[in-house]
Amino acid sequence: MDRKGIREAGRGEVSYAKQCGLPLHAHLFRHTGITQLVLQKMSEPAIRKLVGHKHANSLTPYLHLGDAFIETEFNKAQAVFSPTHSLNFSLGGE
C-alpha cells in the first residue's frame, strides 16, 4: 500500500471512530507506530530516518512509554554497569 492508500485508510478509521464517539485522530497512528518501534528495540536513528525526523529530541512527543517498559530498561542498564550488584528500580512505589 502506498502513502495515499494508507492516508485514505486512516481517514476511514477516523470517520468510523468519530461516528462511535471515540477520540481518535489520524496522527494517533503515527504516535502508536513510533512507540511500537521503540518497544520492539528498533534504533532511534533508524526510526528518525523512517519517519523523516533529523534531531533526536524530535521523537520525544511521539513516545508514550509505560512505567513497566522504563523499569525494565533501567534494570537492564544497571545489570550492564554492575553485573554483581544491580539496583532494583520500581515506579510502582513498592
Query: What is the total count of domains within the chain?
Result: 2
pLDDT (0 to 100) of residue 72 = 87
**Are the C-beta atoms of 34 and 51 separated by less than 8 Å?**
yes
Residue pLDDT tens, the chain, 94 long: 555 555 555 566 667 667 777 676 667 777 888 888 888 888 888 988 888 888 878 887 877 888 888 888 888 888 777 656 555 666 765 5
Co-location of 14 and 46 in the same domain = yes
Same-domain status, 41 and 55: yes
Residues 71 and 94 grouped into a single domain: yes
The residue segments making up the domain with residue 58 are 3-63
Q: Are 65 and 38 in contact (CB under 8 A)?
A: yes
User: Whole-prediction pTM value?
Assistant: 0.53
The pLDDT of residue 10 is: 58
Q: Are residues 39 and 72 in the same domain?
A: no
pLDDT for the residue numbered 2: 53
> Angle 21-27-28 (CA atoms, 0-180°, nearest 5)?
60
